[in-house]
Structure formats: structure tokens, C-alpha cells
Amino acid sequence: MCGIIGYIGPKNSLSVVIDGLKRLEYRGYDSAGVAFIEEGSIKTVRSAGKISRLEGLLGEKKSREFSGAVIGHTRWATHGGPSEKNAHPHKSGRIVLVHNGIIENYQSLKKKLKADGFEFTSETDTEVICHLISLHSRNLPFEEAVRAAVGELKGAYALAIMHESEPGKIIGVKKDSPLVLGVGEGEFFISSDASAFIAHTNRALFLEDGEMAVVTPEGFKIIHTGNGEPAAKNPCILPFGQGMAEKGGHKHFMLKEIHEQPRAVADTIRGRLGRGAEDVNLEEFGLPVEELKGIQKVIIIACGTSWHAGLAGKYMIEQMARIPVEVDIASEFRYRDPILKGNELFIAITQSGETADTLAALKLARKSGVKTLAITNVIGSAAAREADSVFFTRGGPEIGVASTKTFMTQMVGLYLLAMAAARAKGNMPPEQFKGMAQDLLELPAKIETILSRKPEMEKIAQRHFKKEHFLFLGRGIDYPVALEGALKLKEISYIHAEGYPAGEMKHGPIALIDEDMPALFLLPSQSALKDKILSNMEEVRSRNAQILLITDGEDKELEAVSNGIFIVPASNRFLGAALMAVPLQLLAYYIGILRGCDVDQPRNLAKSVTVE
């Protein structure tokens, strides 16, 4: 995600900030910029592309002694493509700021600010924030203006803000996006992530939602944005160094990204479905309701983990919207001379937006004239440029080669699309929609609950990490999740793992079952096929194999047949399946670690496969 770094102190602030930006590079970015106040006026230097380009633009200024306050930013596009004009910092009058997060009500604020005479020069949601603070600054001092402005924002933000008339001051404020204050000897840092400053100090103060840090060379104060009252807070000592700081205190990017899922899901929902909403915001899919109504068939293509999300999407779209869905692997689809017709919707799912086979399939579909939609995590990617319309998952950059949080956000995107299509087709009454929407809004907290119980999964991993074969079984929408669980395990630990529909076990896989091959079942307690899966479990047990179970409620009958059980919070059958993916990710992670594997960069695999 975007990275923020601000510095106040005696060192050459421009070099400290550029150095901090480089330390945030690992998060992924597409443009960068800095702002400082020189001879009484705000200067911004911004550039699309690498930080080295920004350094080039700063020229000798960077090496010159400059000790005023500086803020800097690396951007990962969410609103508006990667370009100089969309890069941060953004400026309005005497206000300049950098932002991490997504403002949900930026359209309505933009309208209001335009009516007030503000001109917009970027496509970002961020620009409304600096205009808003600028507007309030007409009547209020800096701090008050920030408080008033953030009071009008809906969504997520971490901000570092400067005012031309107060060149020594940086204000940091946050809601739902991280912001941490680094406290050194006579110097202060404000950053989205401690890795940007840990080379200078390990004393840090993490801001909570609704808190604001006002930082000057003399010190800092923390106040509540709501009432302006001071908040009593002291810095803590960070128990880790640079490497772990980049990973948010986790040992590996994979674990960090598994932990980012509640945030990634909340961001993917943001602005697309609100509390009390009566429909999904279709603008986000670029599909007018009339067009959605007319769709007779959906074709989904993807590779790897994205294909598994696509398979799950089939269950969601068919069962909610009653539109038939065909799912194919991109490399198969492109060479099978597929039949495409005018009233079909073709969906390419791709985290990176650059996978060669997926792009080729997408191009083929476009050529045939069907409506195409890309579900991707990367704005400006080849898939985003190629498709007629795009839905952006907002997982943020994923560094671990094995997809985790982006799988989860793809599931959320498909769920939203299925709900939207169901509404358009008249297949989901308002009451049902409300319930389904509520389930989605509760998803981040439910993932959080699973993560808080990760030691349970670690124990299961400790008991089984020496096995060389695993079978993952599920039915209905749990089957693609079983496939994803098996893929995660084989990618991360090099254990041979297969995913199967549980009903198919008797047609082959059962021949492999013995005491050395654990079978992991995914079984929601309300499943209509529970008895059938219980029989499968008995079949496995009678062959002396270990049975592991992921379910969603206490069940004595199931406990009796299982050798290891993990209970996820209950949800509807679609999101219940998404929740079951989390313990499977943890299982793969812990087994990989116990086997001494490089979980972030497994052998022979690439994050993005841009060749055939």
C-alpha cells in the first residue's frame, strides 16, 4: 500500500525522507513525491515511476543541507492511474499533505468543494482532503482546520499534513490506516510503517483511530480529533529491527499478508457497499444495471489461485443470480477455440493483471465482441487496460509469492458482483440482500477472530508437518477452497497435496489413503450434505488415516471422528467458505516454516508469470 514518511529534526531532512521512502519500497508503489517549505512557500516534487527518478528531479537539492520539515510518499494507485499529477503530496492553498487510504465520500465532497471554487488537478480521492483543510483554514487555525476536515471524511486515512505558515510542524492523523510516530533524540518521524525510521530510532508511538499527532522540533502532543482533548500516550520500544519492521513485526511477508486480510476486505468493500445500502454500487464494476440484466451467461477465466476464486465465484453467481457460469483455466481456454456469444459476460481474474495466459484469453474475448470485465489488484495493469470494465480489489501490494489476501479480496469482489447481478435479475429480495450485505460487513471481524486463534493451527501443523501427502476435501463452494488449501500447502511446503470434491473421493483418491496421508475436510455444520461427508470421514478413518476438520460450530459428532479440528466463525455458505481459507493459509505457513522452507519465495515459483 502507499507509504508515508515525514521528518522533523536536525539531519538533512530531504535525505532522511528519501531514505525512508526507499525503505518503504518493498510495499510496492508506482509513483513517489516529497513536499517541503522553502523561503516561505510549499514546494512539491513528484514523479511517476521509481524513487531514483524522484531523486533525479530533486538533483543537488537532496544533498544540500535542508533541515525544515519534509513529508514524502510512495503511491500505489487506487483512484486514478499512476502519473505525476496523481502522485502525492497534494497541495491546496497553504496546505500540503500525503494520504494513505480510501475516502468513500470523495465524490460528494468534490461536488461541494467545486461549488466553493476549488479546482481539481488530479483524479485522486486525496485531493478533496487538502481542499477541505484549506477551506476550514480560512476561519480556523491549522490544528482546528484538520480536526474539522477529518470530521467530514468517510473512509480510511492516514495523513501527514503541513501548513505553509507553520513550516516547522507536521500533523499526523489516522482512521483505519496505520500511522506511527518515531521519537528519536531531538528528531521525529511520522510514517505508515516503522521500517521507514527504525534505522534512526526504535521508540515508537502508534496512533489509534481518531488521534492526531502535532509534531514540532520541540516535541509532540497527541490529541483526540473529536473533542481536541489531549490523549495520554507514551512511546514504546520496538522489539525488532529493520527486517521485521518491514513485515509489520511478523517473520514473513506471507504471515503479514495473512494478517492484513481484515483490512484488505474492508478496503475492497469500501464505497461499494455501505451499512444499510439497498444495492451494490454498480459503478464500481462499470456495468450498467440494464446490461447486467441482459447477461445470459458468465465465463470466468484465470490461473492459479485466481482460478480457485473464479471457481468459487461460479457457486456465488449461479446460486445468487441464477446465471449459468463457466470457469476455465486461461491457458486451456485460449487454445480450445471457445464459443463466445454477444449476451455473455467474460471475466478475467488476475491479481497482477499481467499473467500472459490470462491476458491472451482476455484479448481473445474482446476480439469476439463479448463484454469483458477484469477483476484485478493492480490499477494500470495490462488486464485493467485491456478490459471494457475493471473491478479493483484493494488488497494492496502482495509480496509473498503465494497469494493469500488477494484471494480473499477476489472472493469479496465476486460476492459483490453476484449480489449485484442477483438484484438486477430480480433474484434477491431486499430483505435477503440486507442479510447478505450484513454478512459481508462482518467478514473482517470474523477473519480477525480466526487470526487471534492461530496458535491452534500451529499445533495442528506441528503434529503433521512430517507427512509427505495430504488430501483436501470439500463440497459445493468449499471444494474450490479445498483446491486452494492444497495449492497453498504444495507451494509453501513442497508436500504433495491434492484437492478433491469430497463426493469424488471414492473414484480414485481413496486408493492413496493410509496412515501417512492425512485428509483435511471442509464441512460447514449446516451443510445439507453433512451426512455424506461424515460417511467419507468414516471411510478415511477405517483406513487409519488422520482426519483434520475445518468447520464452523461445535459438533460432538464431528469432534468424535476428527484428529484435529479448527472452528471458524459461522457465516453464510459463500463467506463461510472464504473464512475457511484462512486456517488453510495458516496451516501451509506453519508447515512450511517447520520444514525449513522459504515461505515468501518458494522454489521455482514466480509471483507473476508474464510468459506462456
Residue 499, interface with ligand G6P (CB under 6 A)?
A: no
Residue 601, interface with ligand G6P (CB under 6 A)?
A: no
Residue 401, interface with ligand G6P (CB under 6 A)?
A: yes
Shorter beta-carbon distance to ligand G6P: residue 14 or 402: 402
Contact segment (CB under 6 A) with ligand G6P among 39-47, 222-230, 344-352, 494-502 equals 344-352
Shorter beta-carbon distance to ligand G6P: residue 13 or 381: 381
Residue 358, interface with ligand G6P (CB under 6 A)?
A: yes
Angle between helices 405-424 and 573-594 (to 10 degrees): 170
Among 134, 355, 393, 404, binds ligand G6P (CB under 6 A): 355
Decide: helix, strand or coil at residue 580.
Answer: helix
The C-alpha atoms of residue 514 and residue 481 are separated, in whole angstroms, by 23
Going across the sheet that includes 325-329, the strands are: 325-329, 297-302, 344-350, 371-376, 389-392
The C-alpha atoms of residue 300 and residue 83 are separated, in whole angstroms, by 31
Distances from the Cα of 154 to the Cαs of 1, 120, 150, 158, 227, in angstroms? 19, 19, 8, 12, 18
Q: What is the DSSP letter of 208?
A: P
The C-alpha atoms of residue 231 and residue 414 are separated, in whole angstroms, by 42
Among 86, 92, 225, 306, binds ligand G6P (CB under 6 A): 306
Residue 395, interface with ligand G6P (CB under 6 A)?
A: no
Residue 608, interface with ligand G6P (CB under 6 A)?
A: yes
The phi-psi region of residue 119 (left if phi > 0; otherwise alpha if psi is between -120 and 50; otherwise beta) is: beta
Residue 381, interface with ligand G6P (CB under 6 A)?
A: no
Shorter beta-carbon distance to ligand G6P: residue 225 or 350: 350
Residue 546, interface with ligand G6P (CB under 6 A)?
A: no
Shorter beta-carbon distance to ligand G6P: residue 73 or 405: 405
Please report the DSSP string for 69-101 in residue order.
Answer: -EEEEEE--SSS-SSTTTSSPEEETTEEEEEEE
**Whether the Cβ atoms of residue 551 and residue 524 lie closer than 8 Å to each other:** yes
Largest CA distance in the chain: 81
Shorter beta-carbon distance to ligand G6P: residue 493 or 536: 493
Cβ at position 52, least distance to ligand G6P in Å? 26
The C-alpha atoms of residue 154 and residue 475 are separated, in whole angstroms, by 40
Contact segment (CB under 6 A) with ligand G6P among 57-65, 142-150, 213-221, 349-357 equals 349-357
Cβ at position 485, least distance to ligand G6P in Å? 14
Among 352, 372, 393, 527, binds ligand G6P (CB under 6 A): 352
* Near ligand G6P in 559-578, by CB under 6 A: none
* Near ligand G6P in 286-305, by CB under 6 A: 303-305
Size of residue set near ligand G6P by CB under 6 A: 17
Residue 362, interface with ligand G6P (CB under 6 A)?
A: no
389-392/236-237 β-pairing: unpaired
Shorter beta-carbon distance to ligand G6P: residue 173 or 348: 348
Residue for cell digits 544533498? 63
Cβ at position 407, least distance to ligand G6P in Å? 8
Cis ω on the peptide bond leading into residue 430 (within 30° of 0)? no
Among 351, 409, 493, 527, binds ligand G6P (CB under 6 A): 351
Active site (catalytic) residues: 2, 607
Residues paired with residue 161 on neighbouring β-strands, in sequence order: 97, 171
The C-alpha atoms of residue 189 and residue 178 are separated, in whole angstroms, by 14
Cβ at position 488, least distance to ligand G6P in Å? 9
Shorter beta-carbon distance to ligand G6P: residue 349 or 437: 349
Residue 350, interface with ligand G6P (CB under 6 A)?
A: yes
Residue 397, interface with ligand G6P (CB under 6 A)?
A: no
Q: How many residues does the chain have?
A: 612
Residue 403, interface with ligand G6P (CB under 6 A)?
A: yes
Residues lying near ligand G6P in the complex (CB under 6 A): 303-306, 350-352, 355, 358, 401-403, 605-609
